[in-house]
A = this chain, B = another copy of it.
Amino acid sequence: MAEAVRAWRTVLEKIETDLLDGALAPGDRLPPERELAANLGVGRSSVREALRVLEVMGLIRTGTGSGPTSGAIIIATPQGGMAALLRLQVAAQGFPLDDVVRTRLVLEAAVAHALGAEPDPDLGAARLLLEAMAADDLTPAEFLALDAQFHLALAEASGNAVIAAMMAGLRSAIESYVNAGATRIDDWDATADRLRAEHGAILDALDRGEPQRAATLVHDHITGYYARAALVRDA
């Protein structure tokens, strides 16, 4: 009865405590699977189940072979994990689509406020993406992918890793719906033009240090698209 704890969970906890007390840090390599298994008194398969969880959550990267790139390495890049979690939860109906969109609006507004309040926001990446979106030979899917990157660039420029990861995840979770919505839009070229103009206006407002205006523009930008693509009732 002492072993009500499942073996893989002990592995997960061991790694978490090692992270918390500094025994493991980003860039470090975990011990080999076989060694971990022996140290913790569990089977290698249990170790692997725990490592799989860490990998999907974006905490580690595994590599075969030998040398410095092999083994399990702490990377702590949360965007992939957040995306996977949100995507799966939306798929399993744990997260209603409307809530995802509404949450995105909240976070985008916060990003706009933060960037607009900064004296000299770094909008270089966003500006580059805006230029890339000016190309006229883009499919809707390609255009929307750049659109997503544009918003992600803003979030990253705001300097909040948590919000950036959440935005990336939310967007990824509804990507298929967004793309499907594009097919419902009659005049795609006009819509693309409009989106480009809205992006430009947002950057403008951020440059001028007008957080409130930027937030409003972002809000309208997003709700406008969703309304035209008939994705959600209202937001």
Contact = CB atoms under 8 A, between A and B. Distances in A.
B81 A93 contact: no
B8 A52 contact: yes
Interface string A49-87: 110111011110000000000000010111001101111
B19 A103 contact: no
A59 B76 contact: no
Contacts of A49: 48-49, 52
A94 B163 contact: no
A52 B6 CA distance: 11
A56 B78 CA distance: 16
Contact of A88 (B59, B162, B163): B59
A31 interface: no
A91 B23 CA distance: 11
> How many copies of this protein are present in the complex?
2
A162 B100 contact: yes
A14 B152 CA distance: 28
Contacts of A96: 161
B57 A84 contact: yes
A183 interface: no
A94 B16 CA distance: 13
A26 interface: yes
A95 interface: yes
Nearest to A84: B57
B59 A94 contact: yes
A45 interface: yes
Contacts of A127: none
Interface of A: 8, 12, 16, 19-20, 24-26, 45, 48-50, 52-54, 56-59, 74, 76-78, 81-82, 84-89, 91-96, 99-100, 102-103, 106-107, 110, 159-163, 165-166, 170, 176
